[in-house]
Amino acid sequence: MDEINDLAGQHEVVAENLQANVIKELHALVKDLREERKRQLLEGSKLTQALQNQIEALVRSKKAYDKAFKESEKAVENFQKADADFNLSRAEVEKQRLNMSYKSQVCDTAKNEYADQLQRTNELQRQHYRSGLPEVFRQLQELDEKRIKNIKNFIYSSVEIERNVFPIINKCLDGITKAADIIDEKEDTLLVIEKFKSGFNPPDDYPFEDLSKANGSDTGSLPNVNHIQPRLKDGVYTVKGTFSGNKIKKRAGILNIFGSRGNATITDGKDDFSDLAPNQRRKKLLQKVEELQTKVTQETATRDGLMKMKGVYESNPALGDPMTVEGQLNECSHKLEKLQLELQRYQRYLEEAARGGAPNSNSQNNSPRLLNGSRQHRNSGGSGHDEESLSSCSNSPESGLGTSHTSLPGADSDQDQYDGQPLETESEYYDVLPALGTCKALYPFEATSEGSIPMAENEELHLIELDQGDGWTRVRRMNGQFEEGFVPTSYIETTLFNT
């Protein structure tokens, strides 16, 4: 799935690069080409319209010249008739002569105008077809060549963008293939079996009950059901393996994983999870213990912070009144006490489940990290375990516990017992927290306050609790003596383990 996620990321990179380097520039090119083409077509239209206007002016001048020529000829003809007619007065003849002269002058003017328009039209027509219109077509051709060239470059860019991610995509595909190669169907099914197995032992054979001899009149080789030793189970005496043992707790269905619920770890709400199968009960109790340990750690950190604040206020009243945090401190301490009591109760449940459950090869991995120590560690000589073994114990897949990144506080030193039961002392049961990493001292440090430990320059220590925001980090020495304490965070260089 990680490789598929990386593969999808590479496709996103391709899409982003295409959007930024190709599509964006393509839109800009299309916009420029559209505007330039519109401008060139408008220029061609102007040239064509100018030529058309000139031709129309030529036609008008020719019509005017034709009309003036006809009128001039008619005036000449009228003058000749009047001059040949002896009956007309000299004034009439002179009138016709003047009219002829005027018409001839108008005809000459129209002729000159026509000749001028003809010359201008021919010149404009030559320019239109030899330079103006060809220039427009040349511009349109260059525009189209520019479009084709840029499309070609965009194709190259698209291919280059795809090729740049090919090596990474191939690595992702190789990773997917490698992940598929390491899939083991038998191991996966064993994990499912380990998750859902109940821990019950197979039932004993049903004995034969001879009712005729049940009154004790005759004794045979078969044992009487009433003489079978009763067994205490969940506070109820039952006779196991007999029809009369109807008080035996009902087991979970063998194939209930195929039912509607499909989960063997679903409980009916009992506080100690006693309604679950042994293995499932231990897992639930381990999860509950880890959850309570986390809450205890948080409340302890809150209490320590309030105590530090109260100490600062007491040493310097100008900063604040210590009584302002007294109520919060009391509430936090009360809540912490309740959590510790509940944690001890579930630890007892877990010990009972570990003692009464079926033998399990992973029982060591199922051992919880108990607050202020572990009975299993004490009984098995656990002082010899190193931090790595304890870390693997806490983080095993069977246990269901993750790596704890905070320290687990002990019970209050001034409280000797809970619910009338004596508590183990911290010296008897010591909780060895798993190391989160290592740290190296950058400067020497002398312990001047309670809870801190000294360290020499370049000394390497185990990191067991990260800085909670107060500038101090909890560490442990590597000499196997489990000496722990706080050092300034600015004095060390930390290296966390990969989880």
Number of C-beta neighbours around residue 27 at 10 A: 10
Q: Residue by residue, what is the 3-state secondary structure of the chain?
A: CHHHHHHHHHHHHHHHHHHHHHHHHHHHHHHHHHHHHHHHHHHHHHHHHHHHHHHHHHHHHHHHHHHHHHHHHHHHHHHHHHHHCCCCCHHHHHHHHHHHHHHHHHHHHHHHHHHHHHHHHHHHHHHHHHHHHHHHHHHHHHHHHHHHHHHHHHHHHHHHHHHHHHHHHHHHHHHHHHHHHCCCHHHHHHHHHHHHCCCCCCCCCCCCCCHHHCCCCCCCCCCCHHHCCCEEECCEEECCCCCCCCCCCCCCCCCHHHCCCCCCCCCCCCCCCCCCCHHHHHHHHHHHHHHHHHHHHHHHHHHHHHHHHHHHHHHCHHHCCHHHCHHHHHHHHHHHHHHHHHHHHHHHHHHHHHHHCCCCCCCCCCCCCCCCCCHHHHHCCHHHCCHHHHHHHHCCCCCCCCCCCCCCCCCCCCCCEECCEECCCCCCCCCCCCCCEEEEECCCECCCCCCECCECCCCEEEEEECCCCCCEEEEEECCCCCCEEEEEHHHEEEEECCC
Position 102 scores a pLDDT of: 92
| Contact (Cβ atoms closer than 8 angstroms) between residue 61 and residue 96 | no
Amino acid at 371: L
Stretches where the chain sits below pLDDT 70 are 214-269, 356-432, 480-481, 499
| Contact (Cβ atoms closer than 8 angstroms) between residue 452 and residue 487 | yes
Vertex 376: Cα angle to 438 and 413 (nearest 5): 75
What phi and psi values does residue 421 have, to the nearest 5 degrees?
Answer: -110, 135
Cα separation, 39 vs 437, in Å, equals 72
| Contact (Cβ atoms closer than 8 angstroms) between residue 242 and residue 225 | yes
Residue 61, token pair as written in the block: 């001048």
* Distances from the Cα of 343 to the Cα of 229, 295, 375, 411, angstroms: 36, 10, 14, 11
Residue 296, token pair as written in the block: 């205890």
Cα separation, 85 vs 233, in Å, equals 164
- Residue partners of 494: CB distance under 8 A and separation at least 6: 437, 438, 439, 463, 473
Vertex 217: Cα angle to 213 and 221 (nearest 5): 55
Cα separation, 463 vs 440, in Å, equals 10
Residue 115, token pair as written in the block: 């000749």
Domains (range + CATH), the chain: 2-181 (1.20.1270.60), 281-431 (no CATH), 435-499 (2.30.30.40)
| pLDDT tens string 334-366 | 888 899 898 998 888 888 887 764 333 333 333
Q: Which residue has the tokens 């499932």?
A: 280
Number of C-beta neighbours around residue 473 at 10 A: 22
Cα separation, 293 vs 55, in Å, equals 103
**pTM to 2 decimal places:** 0.38
